[in-house]
Amino acid sequence: MGFTISYSLKYCPSSFRSFSNKPRSVEIFCCLSLEQSNHKITTKPTSINGGDSESNSLRVVFAAGGTGGHISPAVAIADELKFIEPTTQILFMGTRNSMESAAVPSAGYNFLPVPAVKLFRPFFSPRNLLLPYNLIVSTLQCYRELQDFDPHIVVGTGGYVSFSICLAAAIKGAKVVIQEQNSVPGIANWVLSFFADMVFVAFNSTVDSFWGRHKCVVCGNPVRLSLRKYISKAVARLKFFPNSVRDEEAKVILVLGGSLGANAVNIALLNLYYQMLLDHQNWFIIWQTGVQAYDEMESLVKIRPRLLLKPFFHSMDSAYAAADLIVSRAGAMTCSEILATGKPAILIPSADVAEGHQVRNATLMADVAGSRVIFEDELDSTTLGTAIEEILSMLNPLPFDSLLFSECTFLSSKRSLIVYVKYLCINFHLTFAL
């Protein structure tokens, strides 16, 4: 006795690409529509055999790690799955003592540490001599863990740790889905595309970077449910500054120094914040330094009443809601979140990332969302301070309304959120035969 599971893909926008006609093992109805913000989802939760037992629920493993840019989309998709199919069993796999080991439990999901195999650059570096051996060991361990959980589907969102997990899943026979956030895929996702059943990408141009165009679906980047829920600015500000922000004219600047720490951004703000807060008594700063830079920045910052320092925010909804202006790197997920909130932004793209995709992201944001871009070789306390002053002095810092960000498949809403990703919604409907 057993069951056979098959899937098909249902999609809404005409630009989405179909995959292939070969049989699949899970029936998936994917709602990847970019609709207005008042769109309501009505679904009926189902389990594999129609029962309520957890053992009969859909089982999904997420393979993500390294940085917030890989972890955030995985959590967003997991949130959507639990919203639509509450009985879904979800397990995150990542590296021990890493960002995901803290971020995933904070998001309410189970986390299982597995070894990651890092590829050093250049490829022929002596440090890569043991790469084949380490990859085999890591993949075997991931295979054993997958045998225990027995997932129907494994979703990889990038990071070195995702490679061994998704490779083991493909060997095991589970369905593998990868989601690429950037315009240029990372090496892990690029190699995994050879084994994956589906490849979700954020940019139309990214399709050409992958082997097997028939596997690709352009759907933008998923944004967490909590980020799209309305949170009052006043309530959010009281969470960070409970005894200070009372003036309606007060301005809050949210500085995102990267999940690990963007040195150039942190140094520019370090040289600016003291005088800026002295000159503007009703300005406040929420500063995410990045995990690796927190101790150093914390020891150097002297004024505290109107400045809040944090290594990393596991939940960004309140931080975005409290802000009048966002200063940030230009990672794909951060740009998606900024668009979802409709906040004005100053973007400082990193020049050190693969294929310069942050520069591309920032350029698109400037063209469509009116974001201010400061390149790293131009960045100092003066240029950053001037940009902040100019934007916060504007009565309406968002110079656009109802624009379509078609390159990232963002769609404007009727409620002035203006150009954002609706979300990636996966509704798994399972059927079986004895």
What would the mean pLDDT of 298-303 be, rounded to a whole number? 84
In this predicted structure, the answer to whether residue 427 has a pLDDT above a threshold of 90 is: no
Going by the DSSP 8-state scheme, the letter that residue 252 receives in this structure is: E
pLDDT at site 429: 39
pLDDT band with cut points at 50, 70 and 90 for residue 230: low
In percent, the amount of the chain with pLDDT more than 90 equals 29
The answer on 388 and 352 residing in a single domain is: yes
The answer on 362 and 240 residing in a single domain is: yes
pLDDT at site 92: 97
pLDDT at site 42: 34
Going by the DSSP 8-state scheme, the letter that residue 209 receives in this structure is: G
Tokens of 411: 């769609």
Weakest-pLDDT range from 59-73, 279-293, 313-327, 352-366 = 352-366
pLDDT band with cut points at 50, 70 and 90 for residue 379: very high
Residue 31 lies in a domain: no
pLDDT at site 7: 32
pLDDT greater at residue 344 or residue 243? 344
Please answer whether residues 16 and 32 qualify as being in contact, where contact means their C-beta atoms are separated by less than 8 angstroms.
Answer: yes
Residue 48 lies in a domain: no
What would the mean pLDDT of 192-208 be, rounded to a whole number? 87
pLDDT in tens, 315-331: 788 999 999 999 999 98
pLDDT at site 113: 93
Residue 429 lies in a domain: no
pLDDT at site 273: 94
pLDDT at site 8: 33
Contacts by 194-202, CB closer than 8 A, 24 or more apart: 195/166, 195/167, 195/170, 196/156, 196/166, 196/170, 197/19, 197/24, 198/9, 198/19, 200/424, 202/332, 202/336, 202/408, 202/409
| Rounded CA separation 261/200 (Å) | 28
The answer on 238 and 113 residing in a single domain is: no
What would the mean pLDDT of 2-23 be, rounded to a whole number? 34
Residues 6+ apart with CB under 8 A from 102: 314
Domain boundary among 222, 241, 264: 222
Q: Can you give the CATH number for the domain in which 320 is found?
A: 3.40.50.2000
pLDDT at site 216: 87
In this predicted structure, the answer to whether residue 67 has a pLDDT above a threshold of 90 is: no
The answer on 230 and 217 residing in a single domain is: no
pLDDT at site 428: 40
Whole-angstrom Cα Rg for the chain: 22
Domain boundary among 196, 222, 248: 222
pLDDT band with cut points at 50, 70 and 90 for residue 228: low
Domain boundary among 193, 222, 251: 222
Residue 119 lies in a domain: yes
In this predicted structure, the answer to whether residue 33 has a pLDDT above a threshold of 70 is: no
The answer on 191 and 97 residing in a single domain is: yes
The answer on 94 and 152 residing in a single domain is: yes
pLDDT band with cut points at 50, 70 and 90 for residue 405: very low
Residues 6+ apart with CB under 8 A from 81: 58, 60, 88, 90, 426, 428
The answer on 87 and 206 residing in a single domain is: yes
What would the mean pLDDT of 77-81 be, rounded to a whole number? 84
Residue 334 lies in a domain: yes
Cross-strand bridge partners of residue 427: 29
Cis peptide before 242 (omega within 30 of 0): no
Per the structure, the complete domain to which residue 178 belongs is given by 59-222
pLDDT, mean over the chain: 75
Residue 157 lies in a domain: yes
Residue 254 lies in a domain: yes
pLDDT band with cut points at 50, 70 and 90 for residue 93: very high
Helix axes 332-341, 357-369, angle to 10 degrees: 20
In this predicted structure, the answer to whether residue 174 has a pLDDT above a threshold of 70 is: yes
The answer on 209 and 299 residing in a single domain is: no
Tokens of 162: 């995702």
Q: Where does residue 249 fall: left (phi above 0), alpha (psi -120 to 50 degrees), or beta otherwise? A: alpha
The answer on 174 and 189 residing in a single domain is: yes
pLDDT in tens, 237-252: 988 998 776 677 899 9
Q: How many domains is the chain built from?
A: 2
In this predicted structure, the answer to whether residue 44 has a pLDDT above a threshold of 70 is: no
What would the mean pLDDT of 416-425 be, rounded to a whole number? 29
In this predicted structure, the answer to whether residue 359 has a pLDDT above a threshold of 60 is: yes
pLDDT at site 259: 64
pLDDT band with cut points at 50, 70 and 90 for residue 336: confident
The answer on 385 and 364 residing in a single domain is: yes
What would the mean pLDDT of 319-346 be, rounded to a whole number? 90
In this predicted structure, the answer to whether residue 364 has a pLDDT above a threshold of 80 is: yes
Task: Summarize the chain as % helix, strand, coil (round to 5).
Answer: 35, 15, 45
pLDDT greater at residue 396 or residue 312? 312
Helix axes 332-341, 68-84, angle to 10 degrees: 50
The answer on 386 and 337 residing in a single domain is: yes
Residue 430 lies in a domain: no
pLDDT in tens, 94-148: 998 888 888 899 889 999 999 887 776 666 677 777 778 888 888 999 999 999 9
The answer on 275 and 195 residing in a single domain is: no
